[in-house]
Amino acid sequence: MDRWKGRVALVTGASVGIGAAIAKSLVQHGMKVIGCARNVEQIQKLAAECVSSGFSGTLIPYKCDLSVEDDMISMFSWIKVQHQGIDVCINNAGLFSLSNMHSHVNVIALSVCTREAYQSMKERKIDDGHIININSICGHRVVNHADAHFYSASKYAVTALTEGLRQELREAKTHIRATCISPGLVETEFAYRLFSENPEIAVATYTSVKCLQAVDIANSVVYVLSAPPHVQIGDIEITPVEQSM
């Protein structure tokens, strides 16, 4: 990770769960991390924790609604002015809801951030950047549950978009890499938000197996970024040993 010290990463959905764990880990490894979310107060608390822990990097909170394209464009404009641009983009933000909102964040927000991140790298002639999409095993197999089918569709889209991006980057003869990380069951606030009216379902979900923890996914991100520049890690599926497929 030494080559990433002092360089700029964007982590979307950095206020809680996997995003917060990724942001904290990258700061610990000396990166300058812009963490964005609608709830910027929690990122501010995390930034203070990073300072008190003596981490060599910096976490910079930024308030952004990823369901609004203008918000994302403004964020990248701000990053360009304040930090020249980004070298690593981690599209972590994602939703599972019974509305179509998750499709917007899971697919459109990811696509907009990827487009803007690549332009930022291209403008500054950054040839070793990295775009990492936090996907789901639902992007590789369809869960037999009616409420999950549109979510699975949005995650299959992420799988296709990541491979399409890799192909475009190769055609452009750049060494910028693209990786998809697809976790199984991770113990975060995810199920508690989904089953907010029936929290006992969330509890049952997370006690049914020994779940992954957010730090496990953060460690996967570090592993991907630590690979030598000539190594393309395309896809990682990471699940609890006990989880049934």
Cβ atoms of 182 and 237 closer than 8 Å = yes
As a whole number of angstroms, the distance between CA 45 and CA 47 comes to 5
The phi and psi torsions of 220 (rounded to 5 degrees) equal -65, -40
Catalytic position from the list 62, 151, 156, 206: 151
As a whole number of angstroms, the distance between CA 193 and CA 222 comes to 27
Length of the chain: 245
As a whole number of angstroms, the distance between CA 209 and CA 185 comes to 9
For tokens 């927000």, the residue is: 109
Structure tokens at 131: 């775009």
As a whole number of angstroms, the distance between CA 10 and CA 177 comes to 15
Nearest to 163 by CA among 188, 144, 180: 180
The torsion region of residue 31 among left (phi > 0), alpha (psi -120 to 50) and beta comes to: beta
Asked if 223 is an active-site residue, the reply is no
The C-alpha angle 72, 94, 141, rounded to 5 degrees, equals: 135
The phi and psi torsions of 161 (rounded to 5 degrees) equal -65, -35
Q: For the beta carbon of residue 228, count every other beta carbon within 10 angstroms.
A: 6
- Catalytic machinery residues: 151
